[in-house]
Structure 1
Amino acid sequence: MSRELVAGVWAMEGRASSMFLVADGDDLVLVDAGVPWDAGTIREGVRDAGFGLGDVDRVLVTHYDVDHVGALARLDDELDATVYASDTDGRILTGERKPPLRGAKAVLTRFVSVPLVERPDLEVRFVGEGDTVGSFEVFETPGHTPGHLCFVSDRLGVGLLGDLVRGTADGALRRVPRVFDGNRRRAGESVRAFADRAPAFEVACMGHGEPLAAGGSDALADLAARLA
């Protein structure tokens, strides 16, 4: 099931995180892919939005965690889309590297995420700071994972924030719980730096908590100011 936040932006609630579908001009974009058991939720959500998985042109991956890339391999027989991820996290997805073992989250990633995430049979392209994918600009926001990315479309007024922050029911943004950040200090620095350099956006799509249909940049600036 999906719900339309604003015209052309749909949210799909998975078992452990939210996924999103965005109409970027004539292209359809899937944002993150939940846990492996969310494949059916994604199929249904895309269908509710009036499309099929074959209509998806690309997949934007904010970071490598089991609740953000888990269902890709269970959809790759229906998807004909290119996956865009950071070089750091994307090479874990392709099996070209293993996550480091330093820190509690790294251990969790290696011994929980990696065994549960199958390698998708999809083209994976690596992107970084300043690259563009459709109308979305790429921003490197390390901390939650070493290769965490955010994407912002100035034209659409949409920010895809992954697990950089989480949403609250009162329309604010908060940090994710400390235990889930791989490097808490770097994650805080990324919040402040991203707030400074990202173009304004209204819609904020996060993996956890309530997405914002309006006021995204303002909410991000408020959080960054509290961290200063």
Structure 2
Amino acid sequence: RGRSPSLVALTHAHPDHLGAAAAVCQAFSAPLACHAADADAAAGKAPMQPSGWQITISNQVFGGPPHPVSRLLSEGDELAGFRVWHAPGHTPGHLVLFREQDGVAIVGDVLLGMHLVTLRAGLHSPPPFFCTDVAENRRSMLKVFEARPSQILFGHGRPQPSGPNWDDFAAGIQKQVFEASHRDDRLESA
């Protein structure tokens, strides 16, 4: 309360997360920060990833003007007590912010706290058409679960405290990662 933001940090450069960034940065004279792999998209110098009609429509509904990125964030940086993790897959430069002190994880869209069609609460993977690399996103999801967060804050959905459903969801993702890696191994040896 009564404090102005000194930095606007993006988890990733998709229209629904970038939409008001320029206005907030300008209103508070705050710099914009994101990972280098998403910086050109945030600044309007490159198309958002992945490309497709879904991103085009999302941009028309949620998009705001691009804004120059003043600070590049990397794995291990610290922001207000949160450690920055590079968590690619949803976008090449997707970031997760994790606060070790209390186990809070801000995950952007690596994981969703609701189904985007039914709006039903719960843990969900982002739809494949919104990911640049589905397999890489699954590995990023596992990184979140391996940290054993006490609470996850999503880009979509209400915050969720840890619970038994997390272990089941993580086990399902681990199985998908394992099966995909073995499928890739079989293709390479054929």
TM-score after normalising by structure 1:
0.62
Which one has a larger percent helix, Structure 1 or Structure 2?
Answer: 2
Residues 1:208 and 1:100: Cα distance change in structure 2 (over 3 Å) = closer
- What is the rounded CA distance, in whole Å, between the counterparts of 2:33 and 2:21 in structure 1? 12
1:106 paired with 2:51, answer: yes
Residue 78 of structure 2 is aligned to residue 129 of structure 1: no
For the aligned residues, what is the CA RMSD? 3.0
Q: Distance in 2 between matches of 1:225 and 1:110?
A: 30
Output one character per residue of 1:87-130: Cα deviation in whole Å (capped at 9) or x when no partner.
Answer: 111232124x41378xxx3234875649x431336x62111111
Shift of 1:182: 2.2
| Match among 87, 98, 121 for residue 36 of structure 2 | 87
SS of the aligned residue for 1:77 comes to helix
Distance 1:62 1:100, change over 3 A: closer
Indicate the residue corresponding to 1:66 in structure 2.
15
What is the CA–CA distance in structure 1 between the aligned matches of 2:166 and 2:7, rounded to whole Å?
26
**Structure 1 residue aligned with 2:86:** 140
Q: Distance in 1 between matches of 2:25 and 2:73?
A: 21
**Aligned-partner residue type, residue 40 of structure 2:** R
Tell me the residue number matched to 2:158. Answer: 210
Relative to structure 1, is the Cα distance of residues 174 and 100 closer, same or farther in structure 2, using a 3 angstrom cutoff?
closer
Counterpart amino acid of residue 204 in structure 1: I
Q: What are the Cα deviations for residues 156-195 of structure 1, in whole angstroms up to 9, with x where unaligned? A: 4321000001114987422122222222121112212333
Does the residue aligned with 2:28 lie in a helix, a strand or coil? coil
Select the structure that is richer in strand: 1
**C-alpha displacement of 1:57:** 2.3
Percent identical: 26
Count of residues paired in the alignment: 168
Identify the residue that residue 9 of structure 1 maps to in structure 2: none
Q: Does the Cα contact within 8 Å between 2:41 and 2:48 map onto a contact in 1? A: no
| Structure of greater relative contact order (alpha carbons < 8 Å, 6+ residues apart) | 2
Instruction: Quote the offset at 1:71 in angstroms.
Output: 0.8
Following superposition, the deviation at residue 220 of structure 1 comes to 4.7
Which protein is bigger by CA-based radius of gyration?
Answer: 2
Q: Distance in 2 between matches of 1:109 and 1:131?
A: 32
Q: 1:117–1:189: structure 2 CA closer, same or farther, 3 Å change rule?
A: same
**Residue of structure 1 aligned with 2:134, choices 184, 188, 195:** 184
Change (3 A) 1:221 1:80: farther
Note the C-alpha offset of 1:223.
2.3
Find the counterpart in structure 1 of residue 188 from structure 2.
Answer: none
The CA deviation string for residues 2-31 of structure 1, in whole angstroms up to 9 with x for no partner, is xxxxxxxxxxxxxxxxxxxxxxxxxxxxxx
Cα distance in 1 for partners of 2:29, 2:101 equals 25
The TM-score, its normalising length taken from structure 2, stands at 0.73
Give the distance between the partners of 2:10 and 2:48, measured in 1 at CA.
19
**Are the structure 2 counterparts of residues 207 and 180 from structure 1 closer, same or farther at C-alpha, using a change threshold of 3 Å?**
same
Distance 1:159 1:59, change over 3 A: same
**1:193 counterpart (130, 134, 143):** 143
